Amino acid sequence: MKEQKKQINNSENNSNKKEQSSSENNRSSKAKSFDRLPNKKVSKISSSSLTAVIRISGIVGVPEHIENTLYRLRLRRKYVCVVINTNNKSIQGALEKVKFYIAYGEISKETHDKLIKARGKKVDGKLKPFFRLHPPRGGIKSKLQYPKGVLGNNKKDINKLIERML
């Protein structure tokens, strides 16, 4: 009698294991089908060029997690510019996180050369990783997103903004 119960329990356990393994296979096949779907969150930053990032907002009223991200991007003061390579996805994510406090876009070679000539400072034989700029001539709409204001991704128009700030 006891042996029959053990055999019945063993057969039930085996059938449960088979069902679980088949359901796991179904899940993995579903996961594979989702891999073929296009990624909806596509970065709008071109990864092959340099990106200029300028802090537009000051320090008052900025949440701490945003302030920490700005600090890691070396944007510690208002109107500081940093030129970075945006191949790294973590940097792209950081820019997306702080886009309401900065202006960024693809910098041209000519503007980059002007920026280094006008504002580049050497310390211990190395160029500082950031540039202190003037407030832009003619003013800016610092509370509005691009194209009405300057916040966010300015694409190629960042060059015009930098030239107004040199």
CA distance 56 to 64: 17
Rounded to an integer, the average pLDDT of 144-164 is 87
One domain for residues 77 and 16 = no
CA torsion sign, 10 to 11 to 16 to 20?
positive
Tell whether 143 is covered by a domain.
yes
* CATH label of the domain that carries residue 149: 3.30.1390.20
One domain for residues 88 and 22 = no
When the pLDDT of each residue in the chain is averaged and rounded to a whole number, the result is 79
Confidence of residue 72 (pLDDT cuts 50, 70, 90): very high
Tell whether 44 is covered by a domain.
no
The residues near 48 (Cβ < 8 Å, ≥ 6 apart) are 87
CA distance 55 to 41: 24
Residue 80 near residue 135 (C-beta atoms within 8 A): no
One domain for residues 123 and 68 = yes
Phi, psi values for residue 130, rounded to 5°: -140, 165
pLDDT digits (tens, 9 = 90+) for 95-126: 999 999 999 999 999 999 999 999 888 888 88
One domain for residues 111 and 60 = yes
One domain for residues 82 and 18 = no
Tell whether 45 is covered by a domain.
no
Domain that holds residue 14: 1-37
Residue 55's closest CA among 150, 121, 156? 150
Amino acid 40: pLDDT? 44
| Residue 153 bridge partners (DSSP) | 104
Tell whether 42 is covered by a domain.
no
One domain for residues 76 and 140 = yes
Rounded to an integer, the average pLDDT of 154-164 is 90
Asked whether residue 30 carries a pLDDT value surpassing 80, the answer given is no
One domain for residues 60 and 137 = yes
One domain for residues 16 and 55 = no
Q: In terms of pLDDT, which residue wins out, 133 or 24?
A: 133
Confidence of residue 17 (pLDDT cuts 50, 70, 90): low
Amino acid 42: pLDDT? 44
Residue 158 near residue 106 (C-beta atoms within 8 A): yes
When divided into structural domains, the chain yields a total of: 2
One domain for residues 9 and 30 = yes
Rounded to two decimals, the pTM is 0.68
One domain for residues 16 and 63 = no
One domain for residues 91 and 154 = yes
